[in-house]
Each structure stands twice: as C-alpha cells, then as structure tokens.
Amino acid sequence: MKHVFIVGSKGIPAKYGGFETFVDQLTGRKTDRDTKYHVACLSDRKAEEFVYQDARCFPVHTPKMGSARAVVYDVLSLLECVKYIKTHRLENSIVYVLACRIGPVFYILKRQLEKLGVAVFVNPDGHEWKRGKWSAPVKRYWKWSERLMVKHADLLVCDSRGIEQYIHDMYARYEPNTTFIAYGADVTPSPLDDEDHRFTDWMNRFGLSKYGYYLVIGRFVPENNYELMIREFMKSGTAKDLVIVTGAQQQPFYDELRLRTGFDSDPRIKFVGTVYEQPLLKKIREQAYGYCHGHEVGGTNPSLLESLASTRLNLLFDVVFNREVGGESCHYFSNESGALSRLIDEAESWSHEELEELGERAKHRIRSLYSWDLIVQSYETLFQGNDYVPAKQAGGRRLARTKGTTTPL
C-alpha cells in the first residue's frame, strides 16, 4: 500500500478554493486501490480524525493569527505526518506539500521524513511573492521560502508549464527535479435547469437575463486587473452588464477602485458578492454572454478552467499562463487603453453560431487536456511510480528518478 499525505489545503470536503477542490477530486475519483490518502484539514479546535471518500482526514488545530496561520498550519501538519508514519511504521510513503509557505523550516522537517524513507513532493503554486496584497517584507519572505523549498524538495509538481519553466530558469543552480500535471475541470452541465428557483431568484435579484451579462470571478486583489477590466467595460458600448462575483464590499480596495473609476455611476457594473454553491455558479457561467479573466500572477487558475468548461466566450488578459490554458479557444486583451473595450464591442456583433463554436473549442480543450479524470490518473501514476525513492535511499540529496509523469499540451 502506498501512503500519500497531503498537506497545505484547508481540507475536505471542499467548499471553495483551488487546492481544496483538487484534493476533493483526487480522493473522490480515486481508482487505485493500492493508494491510501491522508489529508490534513485546518481546524479551529481539537477534533477527531474522520474518513471522507476513503481518505483519512486528520484535523490540525491551528490558532488564528492572521496570515501567519497558514505557515503554522503547514508546519503542524508535517509534524503530524512524521508522528503518524513513525507510530505506524509506514515504509512506502509520500508527503505532498501544496504551496511554498514554510521554506525556512522545510529542510529540518524534510530531514525527519527522509530518515523515515519518505519522499517529499512540493507543488510550487503560482508567483505568490508577486501578489499586490503583500507588503515588501512579506514578498521577500515568500520569495525566500520558495527558493528554499525548491532547493530541498525531492520533486516539484507544477500545474503550469510556465511555472515549470520559471522554476528551471530561476533556480537552475539547484538542478530542480520537476514534472507537470495540470489542474482540472469538468464539462458536465449544471444540474440546475433554466427555471430552477435557485437560479431564477439569483438572476432576478440583480436584474439579469440569459446572455445579458459578462462575468468576472476571482479574488478581489489588484493583480487580477479589476481596475483595467472595469475601466474598459465602462468605455465599451455594450448594453450588457458586468457581473463581478467576488467578496469585495468590505475591502479597502473596493472604495479605492470606486474612487478611481467611478463605477458606481455606471448601472451596468454589478458587484454581486460571492457564490459558493457550485451548481449555481456553474449555471451562472453557462448563461453569461462572456467571461473576462484578468489574472496575471502565474499558474493555472481554476476559475479560468471552469469558465472554459462552461462559458462560450472567454476574454483573457494576455500573459503566458492564460495563453497556455486557453490556446486558440479564447480571445486576448492587453493593458493598452482601448484593447478590451474594442474586443467587447467587436464581440457584440458575433453570431450565436460563432459563439457556440468558440464554446465548443473551449470544452474540447478541457476534455482533452484538463479533465479531472485525466489529472487524477496522472497523479495516481506519479504516486505509484516505482522509480521514485527518497534521497537518503538514493545515496544523495536529490530524488532518484528515471522518468516523469506529465499531462501533455
């Protein structure tokens, strides 16, 4: 039996979040009976472990302490892994750490696991150190932490080829061992029909109609280019609405954006809060005329994949990570003044058939490259690979490996 410990997500069952959804899909679609998953779950109190989708879920009580909580949570989770592996004398284990938060102590914990014969994989996520919400000292910490985790990980599992290339370019001196497995999405339609009261009530609340709105979904942070998209939409001639699904109104950035753009004077701009009910969110995507994606900080963004799986027209900010995902199924805009507004005005004239063709291209891309079944199969092959052994057993610092498992583009 292969034991795989997953650290770094908030846990399952998933309510929201990219890593949480990934772990939920990984355990829920498992086909390999020779793999046992152990999932760390963030907890506000001491709690008993439980089983979900045949995975052993162990709550990790972590005090609330602001942004430092995630770092402490990862450290406590890894210590729990060490304790469990020792107590049960497990001999065939992998620890998979999601994100690069604990670089300064990673080597100490890695050495403990290495002595137990455990290989440690890391998902480097995106460019967290570039995010605008962080102060300069925090950004420096993130970059330092990333470097240390890249240096000491046995294997880095990148969900973006752009991130994988960045790792090799930035940290060539460490000769990082990487593989690529994408994030996933599901093209299955929403179970809600057009007349379902959950959907119609939501649409009526905001005065929306089928194909009568463009959609933006994502964290309300500057690097997702909300200001650019709002300014450009306000310049466009469309009569459709811009529906922004995000938790915004309680954040200082909301007031700053309102003062800089004057969006409150344009009745088409509608901040509608968050939507956590996944069938409803998928239905909202399906009924949108188009989706605008302004994310520019790297990695494969889950909301983009989910939009390709559901929305006909996708307008993406032109960076390598978004082009990698969207390919020729999407249209792209830059930060040049007028670029997005012209694209929106142009899109208003496209026929139903043209939009349907774009939507089918996007869904084909998801089915062929990003389906959850394909992603889970790739991970199971990776975890069961007999060519992976811990660095200590390999007689050196790095992981002994003869071949990788990737999802091709």
CATH 3.40.50.2000 placement within the chain = 2-184+371-394, 197-370
Residue 6 dihedral angles phi and psi, to the nearest 5°: -115, 120
Close Cβ partners of 243 (under 8 Å, ≥ 6 residues apart): 206, 208, 213, 214, 215, 216, 270, 272, 284, 288
Distance between CA atoms of 366 and 309, rounded to whole angstroms? 6
What's the Cα-to-Cα distance from 366 to each of 283, 286, 355, 377, rounded to whole Å? Answer: 17, 15, 17, 15
Q: How far apart are CA 17 and CA 8, in angstroms?
A: 12
pLDDT of residue 136: 82
Locus of tokens 């020792």: 86
- Euclidean distance between CA atoms 200 and 203, whole angstroms: 5
Query: Residue 188 gets which letter from DSSP?
Result: P
* Nearest of 18, 24, 244, 254 to residue 128 by alpha carbon: 18
Cα–Cα distance between 152 and 174 in angstroms, integer? 9
Is residue 69 classed as helix, strand or coil in its secondary structure?
helix
Q: What is the pLDDT at residue 409?
A: 42
What confidence tens digit (pLDDT) does each residue in 72-105 have?
999 999 999 999 999 999 988 999 999 999 999 9
pTM of the model: 0.88
DSSP 8-state code for residue 314: E
Residues β-bridged to residue 52: 55
**What gap in Å lies between CA 183 and CA 265, rounded to an integer?**
38
Query: What distance in Å separates the CA atoms of residue 366 and residue 363, rounded to the nearest whole number?
Result: 5
The stretches in the chain having pLDDT less than 70 are 127-130, 132-133, 249-250, 298, 386-409
C-alpha distances in Å from residue 263, one per residue of 110, 226, 236, 259: 50, 11, 13, 8
CATH topology of domain 197-370: Rossmann fold (3.40.50)
The DSSP secondary structure of 218-283, one letter per residue, reads S---GGG-HHHHHHHHHHS---SEEEEESS-TTSHHHHHHHHHH-GGG-TTEEEEE----HHHHHH
Contact 339, 329 (CB under 8 A): no
Rounding to the nearest 10 degrees, give the CA dihedral for residues 296, 300, 305, 308: 60
* Cα–Cα distance, 316 to 156 (Å, whole number): 27
CATH topology of domain 2-184+371-394: Rossmann fold (3.40.50)
Dist CA 389 CA 4 (whole Å): 14
The DSSP output letter for 65 is B
